[in-house]
Structure 1
């Protein structure tokens, strides 16, 4: 919401549409050097986010050795992160707080901004559940968690995100003070629906994620102590190998979860603060970019902590995946 503009007190350079006078919204005027720097940084992050997540999508989709339930959940997260790279493009257009595209594109952008983060949060919840079962109930993991169930869970996650968030946006109510000027791209959500959304898409999933991962690391720590003290004697060497593998995956994905929460919480703290109406546009943009930056950081975590991902990147960049039978390569 922007206050009415006194056209006599505002220069043409401060208006999104100078020829519309009082009907136009104000734009944020920055020094040229600052604007250029912001455009370069955000464009670079957008390209990097799209490229890195595309590598993850290609790797998991192409190599059959990676067709595991956990990796299909990572694939869902990579797809949502890939879409965030395109959200960055729209945010770059909004750097001066002016929307120059059509209302249809504004609606597309608004829906994308709601569905994609919700699907991303849902994917993180599924990953937490997967790691919880793998570490806390390893004997029944392969019967409870299968590739088909992982695929169905991912499809259900995206379907529910789309269905819920399309119902969340209320296009029928447009108060007079809502669209106060031309050059805005905002979506009206009823305050009651907004607090319901806060509970269903932030408080509840974040609570589930934290509870499950606290349990995972408690069990992992107890098993590590048992192994070091030789209290637990494991007869099947194969089961020991699988257990260590699952624990390592839990640690890697634990880093993903912690980074996700660190990027997520500042955004919602700013949005739902009682004094949020007093928060500057710049502050809101910064916490939004931090939230979206998480999508660029996830593939970087894989690069440093997953040897198989580094090997996949070499296969892809060297175009070896175009060779016949490359999908059967033992990249693990």
Structure 2
């Protein structure tokens, strides 16, 4: 092997066992690194603001916000871990070893599964709030929301350790050469995973939100027609109707954006090599970009988030008793 050939290898000292360095234009690589690094930084900062806001201010300790907090944690981890490491994994050689490669892939799977599970919980939360508002305060409590979130992350961790157990036992078993970090899931396991982590959750989300939409439309018509038959049940429901409908619309936007970002990725996973490589890169980064869009949705639709960010940036949250601030 010539000297010129060895300079193209990730580990020149290993000769035939080393992977070749990814071939790409320096300008394209630099532009991609800068762009994705900026997106990663924005994702981390915005989601960190949500985590601090919901955790610090007592008024924001509601079941719905507990679910949003969990989603922000997963989005924060995407920006902090998944985006930077995946940039390294796809645009250069992998120098961190097989152990960190397997660990990174395992953690990435946990984050993705947990995000999908939280979206299902958010849809269920809105379903109960809109379709059964009288029993919502008793059925959906802060404690139950925390338990559901913990179970969601625990189940995700246990499920994915089963999915990648062979990779964790035999490190680097699917790497064809040194300097590579990949994992290959067989067709049967991949199909089962797609059904459990995509098709079933999306079906549940769509069904729940279709029901929420139908009930919301009927409630809006009732409000416009000035229904005069007021019972105790209707009067209690009316006090929460407006705010719950607004929350349902906001979280509906969140769910729709989630589906638009996740569906192309899973559709590509099902289609496999049928699609072009450029399109595969697009759906892959769109999948990650969802974690950046979510906090922007909060900024547009939640005044409390904008107020909380102002208090955080001006360091007013460091003042004694700031957790009791009227944020709503």
Compute the TM-score of the two structures, normalised by the length of structure 1. 0.91
- 2:263 corresponds, among 251, 258, 265, to 265
Structure 1 distance, partners of 2:218, 2:228, is 10
- 2:110 aligned with 1:115: yes
Aligned residues: 323
1:311 is aligned to: 307
Distance 1:268 1:43, change over 3 A: same
- 1:256 corresponds, among 250, 254, 265, to 254
CA distances 1:179-226 after superposition (whole Å, capped 9, x unpaired) = 322221112433322111111100000100011011111111111112
- 2:65 aligned with 1:71: yes
After TM superposition, the structure 1 stretch with the greater mean CA deviation from structure 2, 28-37 or 141-150, is: 28-37
Kindly state the Cα deviation for residue 233 of structure 1 after the two structures are TM-superposed. Answer: 4.5
Structure 2 distance, partners of 1:181, 1:252, is 47
3-state secondary structure, aligned to 2:204: helix
Structure 1: runs of 5 or more not aligned: 1-6
1:141 is aligned to: 136
Structure 2 distance, partners of 1:52, 1:268, is 26
Structure 2: runs of 5 or more not aligned: none
Structure 1 distance, partners of 2:129, 2:136, is 5
Structure 2 distance, partners of 1:78, 1:108, is 22
- 2:196 aligned with 1:200: yes
CA RMSD of aligned residues (A): 2.2
Structure 2 distance, partners of 1:87, 1:154, is 21
Kindly state the Cα deviation for residue 277 of structure 1 after the two structures are TM-superposed. Answer: 3.2
Structure 1 distance, partners of 2:172, 2:325, is 61
Compute the TM-score of the two structures, normalised by the length of structure 2. 0.92
- The aligned runs of 1:1-332 (5 Å cut-off) are 11-12=5-6, 14-85=8-79, 86-96=81-91, 98-171=93-166, 178-231=174-227, 233-234=229-230, 239-273=237-271, 276-277=272-273, 279=275, 281-332=277-328
Structure 1 distance, partners of 2:230, 2:27, is 63
